[in-house]
Chain A
Amino acid sequence: MHRVCGSRVATSMNEKTRFMLALIAPAALVLLCFQIVPILTGANASFRDWTLHDPKGTWLGFANYLYVLRDADFIQIVLPNTFGFMAASVACSLVLGLLLALMLNKRFSGRWLVQSFVLLPLMVAPVIAAIMIRWMFNDQFGVVNAILEALGFEPLAWLTQRWTAFFVILLTDIWLWTPWFALILLAGLQSLPPEPFEAAAIDAAGAWRTFRYITLPMLRPVMAVCVVIRSIDAFRTFDTIWTISGGGPARATEVFSIYAYVESFQFLNLARGSAAAVIGAIIIVVFAMLLYRMLNRFVEVSR
């Protein structure tokens, strides 16, 4: 299309540009008013002395950023927690989602029923799921401890210890997002051409080899996009963690969006919270770009 237009005179270039701009104009307008302006307002506040009860607005430069980067809690607890949570959540839900997608791609009676059950977490509001799971893991009234006791184990105080609390949060996130991976990967599987599989069947390639050398490489582009999108979202997870543990016990399960929230709304230091949010955003922008490049290179190599 562009080549045809490029050979014309300048006025047709303008017509094409006008068309391009008209196509994105509504989206750009909404994005500008409700995302770019608020984010820039927040970023502006991060350079100033701006607390909620005393918005002096004096320019401080990078003082807030330095404070966050020098905060031992941020470096030693919050960042490792955030990356650990992201990696564990994305890896587990990718593997489980892939297994489910492979299973649901088979023909068997009751497949529709299993698929509907697997999609259940997509229908529940994450905040309700989080409230419910906190309730199920309650140390006095929760059903999980009741089951443990019935089986003869010691009941656990799940949410008052670091690793068990982390486990509960992770479990919730994996439960919520595995169906999403399963759905997209199943759609990906169903769109693969049948010929390579037929050829593999004729050559009597085993199930594992067929999966390893045909299914996996062909599914990689879809998986790469899924992993990048999901990593970004896992990195900025807020409401499930906030509902289940609130970042506690103490600050043991705090991730960076909770750090930013606590700084802004509990210590009422909006500037410092914004600075933490901007730092997090920069980290994830760079990380997601590197991740995408890396996964894409794997795709190229595997072809």
Chain B
Amino acid sequence: MSAPATTLAAPASESTGFFAALAPGGKRALFALTAVAICLLFAFPVFWLVLTSLRPASGVYYVHRGTEFTLDNFSEVLSQELVLKALFNSFAISTLATVLSLGVTATSGYMLSRFRGPIPNAWFSLIYVFRCVPYVAWVLPLYFVTQQLRIFDTYWGLLLPHVAVHICFFSWIMKGFFDGIDPSMEYAAMIDGCSRWGAFWRVALPSAVPGLTALAILCWLFTWNEFLFALILTAHETPILTVVMAQFVHELGMEWNLMSATAVIALVPALVVTLFGQKYVLRGLRV
């Protein structure tokens, strides 16, 4: 496709001529420079985080002026039982929330895609309106609800609200996936004696697998990085990694080095998921 070349040629036609006259490789060099600059801009805060995590506690305030480096922060953080527990909990919650959210929204999105009438319309309006309500309006009442149900500070108490957050957005996206799949195969299956459930489960769902994979990866990343719900809906029994990290600089003094070390550890699973998953995300979102 030739369209993307516009990025660089867009400003004015003279510039193309200028670089062409400069040297045959001029345009390519400019492109490479732009690419490097973009990488640096996007990586800088993360680079700074890694650098801070490698400094001793005394050197943190002048990260840019010292040459002392140490791995002590990592060993100190990993020797804390709280951090290990939080790592495990975050991993379990993200994975379970992904499975549950996808399970619940695949059917809901399928329904929105295949049917017309008052029930799908009502359901769509409902999820659209409730998606717009700001988080601050429901975290506090949510805290009371989880206490009433006696699931505050347990896995369920954090899992189910996370699933609820994803329902609106994912149903919308899933509808798009199923809209892109030709329903005639399902009709054919039903004529051949398949039930409605069978048509959904054996015909529609397998065709939506690329989309489901993409959403699963995004969902896992969002849950892994989520902060506000974890802060309000958990206490000492179920520590969550983002909350533990933030506490290093909020409540237990200003331990930038320890916070950064924990954040770098938290970055590793996310990095693995994204690096291996980006291909599937791109393929899946290509509706």
Contacts and interface: CB of A to CB of B under 8 A. Distances in A.
Interface stretch (B70-78, B81-89, B264-272): B264-272
Interface of A: prevailing SS: helix
Contact of A125 (B107, B127, B225): B225
Contact of A39 (B137, B200, B270): B137
Contacts of A103: 4, 7, 34-35, 38
Interface stretch (A56-64, A72-80, A106-114): A106-114
A232 B131 contact: yes
Contact of B171 (A27, A128, A232): A27
Contacts of A45: 141
A122 B274 CA distance: 8
B103 A211 contact: no
Contacts of A113: 39
Interface stretch (A84-92, A158-166, A273-281, A295-303): A273-281
A194 B110 CA distance: 29
A111 to B, nearest CB: 9
Interface of A: 1-2, 4, 16-17, 19-24, 26-28, 30-31, 33-39, 41-42, 45, 99-100, 102-103, 105-106, 108, 110, 113-129, 131-133, 135-136, 141, 143, 146, 175, 179, 183-184, 186-192, 194, 197, 200-201, 206-208, 210-211, 214-215, 225, 229, 232, 235-236, 238-239, 256-257, 260-261, 264-265, 270, 273-274, 277-278, 280-281, 284-285, 288
B114 A1 contact: yes
A177 B177 CA distance: 23
Interface in B231-287: 242, 245-246, 249, 256, 259-260, 263, 266-267, 270-271, 273-275, 278, 281-287
B135 A238 contact: yes
A207 B140 contact: no
A100 B104 CA distance: 33
Contacts of B284: 187
Given A141-B62, A143-B64, A260 B137 contact: yes
B164 interface: yes
A102 B3 contact: yes
Given A21-B119, A34-B145, A288 B132 contact: yes
Nearest to B138: A38
Nearest to A38: B141
Contacts of B225: 123-128
B4 A102 contact: yes
B18 interface: no
Given A20-B120, A124-B267, 6 more contacts: A33-B149, A122-B270, A124-B225, A135-B256, A187-B284, A208-B9
Judged by DSSP, the binding face of B is helix
A92 to B, nearest CB: 13
A28 B119 CA distance: 12
Contacts of B259: 128, 131
Contacts of B145: 33-34, 37-38, 41
Nearest to B246: A127
Interface string B165-188: 101110110001000000100110
A281 B134 contact: yes
Nearest to A123: B270
Contacts of A265: 140
30 contacts: A1-B187, A20-B119, A27-B167, A30-B104, A31-B130, A35-B161, A35-B165, A38-B144, A103-B34, A110-B35, A114-B38, A116-B275, A119-B278, A124-B263, A125-B242, A127-B242, A128-B225, A135-B256, A136-B45, A143-B48, A183-B282, A183-B285, A187-B284, A190-B282, A200-B2, A257-B134, A257-B135, A257-B136, A264-B140, A281-B134
B22 interface: no
B150 interface: no
Given A120-B46, A127-B242, A27 B35 contact: no
A203 B5 CA distance: 16
8 A-B pairs with the lowest CB-CB distances in the bound complex, closest first: A277-B137, A187-B285, A38-B141, A236-B134, A125-B225, A123-B270, A34-B164, A211-B6
Contacts of B123: 24, 28
Contacts of A4: 187
A126 B45 CA distance: 12
Given A34-B142, A260-B134, A117 B38 contact: yes
B98 interface: no
B69 interface: no
Nearest to A129: B45
A126 B229 CA distance: 13
A223 to B, nearest CB: 14
